Structure 1
Amino acid sequence: MTTLQRTATTRRGWLIPAGLLVLGFIPVVAGAVRLTELTAGADITPANERFFAMPLPVVLHIVSVTVYSVLGAFQFAPGFRRRRPGWHRAAGRVLVPSGLVVGLSGLWMTLFYALPAGDQGLLTVFRLGFGSAMVVSIVLGVAAIRRRDIARHRAWMTRGYAIGMGAGTQAVTQAAWIAVSGTPGELTRQLLLGAGWAINVAVAEWVIRRRRRPRVSS
């Protein structure tokens, strides 16, 4: 492989992490705004009063999801991961607890916060289902690497990360709907949020199956 080919391959290897960072930008910014509200003493409204009444779960959720989305993106740069295996393992030790806090704090808020009417019903089912799936995926990913089963480890951690990045895709699905049809109704909004998680899971499964295909040498 020539130097030019290696450079092109390296650049392509960074496309996925860059895309994931872009996808996570809106949720990260939204989380930063929420933290600013809590720390600066913003006006309490029906939409945010639950966070002021009990700020710890949402603060943990925002901080952990920021770490998880940003640091996790670099785990999808194959060349970087191969060149720095020590970094990959060190980052994993941060990502696992961060991901578990993301999932568990999300479940806690769904079960114990006084949710507004638009967040109840079907959306509660989505949050409980996908939040539980995220936690289980991370736990199974850790169990797999302890058995030195790298393929299953990568598969389960990919699933967990895909679910954790749901908020980024949800911003896209809602923005696309608003651009075409205007502000969605309550049920449509809940379905668009569910679609964000479902799209990410579908893409993750496609990636996992693509990895499993045997490479045909020319």
Structure 2
Amino acid sequence: MTTTSARPGWLLPAGLILFSLVPVLAGAARVGQLSTGAQITPDNARFFASPVPVVVHIVTVSVYALLSAFQFAPGLRRRRPGWHRAAGRLLVPSGMLAASAGLWMTLFYPHPPSTGWLLTVFRLVFGSAWILFLVLGFTAIRRWDVVRHRAWMMRAYAVGMGAGTQLFTLAPMLAFGSPDRLSVALGHLAGWVINVVVAEWLIRRPTRRAGVSGPLIPALETR
């Protein structure tokens, strides 16, 4: 009975780990190209010219994505609060570094042909929002405000995992040829918006579990 009741609590983390494999595997392939000296093309020349930012971004995003998924397991948070807090201490700087490296690449890497000014603006807005949400989540838990902490960390995760959803929002466009810059920008925007809308729904929905106050969302506690 215990095993059966525990399974639903692990379905969401397991699904998020699978979801996280999209950016993680894509990043691993990019690091593999850089480490093995793959052929330089117009699409990857900027990474070979300045590999440190992209490697930092890939490594920290991978840590952030995989560890964050376990924060959605309520049983693990209850049984191992020490692990939960330790993971939070690693997740916050990982997310900050990932977002900062992403902003650096947006500002200073040469833009490929598919990237226009609108996508650049979107990346700057959501990259900055990722950092802001992490800061707000961290400061909230320092005040022992668990509810706000959980909400801001959920929003940070939604923005940080935009690349996973963007695979699905961009794939239909790519299937029918080479989309223009506006379509690419809107496809990226749709990925972020979908994640944020789902996060807000989870944050604001009333709890259905007796004896639990506040929304049922993950806490990345750092205190």
Q: Distance in 2 between matches of 1:85 and 1:163?
A: 25
SS of alignment partner, residue 114 of structure 2: helix
Deviates more, 1:32-41 or 1:18-27: 18-27
TM-score normalised by L of structure 2: 0.89
Partner of residue 9, structure 1: 5
Does 2:57 correspond to 1:61? yes
Q: CA deviation at 1:18?
A: 1.1
Q: How does 1:179-198 map onto structure 2 within 5 Å?
A: 181=176, 183-198=178-193
Q: Distance in 2 between matches of 1:38 and 1:14?
A: 35
Q: 1:132-165: CA deviations, max 9, x gaps?
A: 0000000000000000000011110111011111
Distance 1:192 1:139, change over 3 A: same
Q: CA deviation at 1:176?
A: 4.1
Q: Distance in 2 between matches of 1:116 and 1:214?
A: 45
2:204 pairs, out of 195, 206, 209, with: 209
Q: CA deviation at 1:127?
A: 0.3
Q: Distance in 2 between matches of 1:48 and 1:70?
A: 25
Q: CA deviation at 1:168?
A: 0.5
Gaps in structure 2 of 5+ consecutive residues: 211-223
TM-score normalised by L of structure 1: 0.91
Q: Distance in 2 between matches of 1:15 and 1:111?
A: 38
Q: Distance in 1 between matches of 2:122 and 2:30?
A: 22
Does 2:110 correspond to 1:114? yes
Q: CA deviation at 1:175?
A: 2.4
Q: Distance in 1 between matches of 2:4 and 2:147?
A: 26
Distance 1:214 1:70, change over 3 A: closer
Gaps in structure 1 of 5+ consecutive residues: none
Distance 1:182 1:112, change over 3 A: closer
**Greater length-normalized contact order (CA 8 Å, ≥ 6 residues apart):** 2
Partner of residue 148, structure 1: 144
Partner of residue 199, structure 1: 194
Distance 1:153 1:164, change over 3 A: same
Q: Percent identity?
A: 60
Q: 1:36-89: CA deviations, max 9, x gaps?
A: 111111111111111111111000000000000001100011111111100000
2:35 pairs, out of 31, 35, 39, with: 39
SS of alignment partner, residue 40 of structure 2: coil
Q: Distance in 1 between matches of 2:178 and 2:122?
A: 21
Deviates more, 1:8-17 or 1:87-96: 8-17
Q: How does 1:70-149 map onto structure 2 within 5 Å?
A: 70-149=66-145
Q: Distance in 2 between matches of 1:42 and 1:102?
A: 24
Q: CA deviation at 1:7?
A: 2.9
Q: Distance in 2 between matches of 1:23 and 1:172?
A: 11
Deviates more, 1:114-123 or 1:151-160: 114-123
Given residue 60 of structure 1, which amino acid in structure 2 is its aligned partner?
A: V
SS of alignment partner, residue 200 of structure 1: helix
Q: How does 1:161-172 map onto structure 2 within 5 Å?
A: 161-172=157-168
RMSD: 1.5
Q: 1:19-47: CA deviations, max 9, x gaps?
A: 11111112111101100111111111111
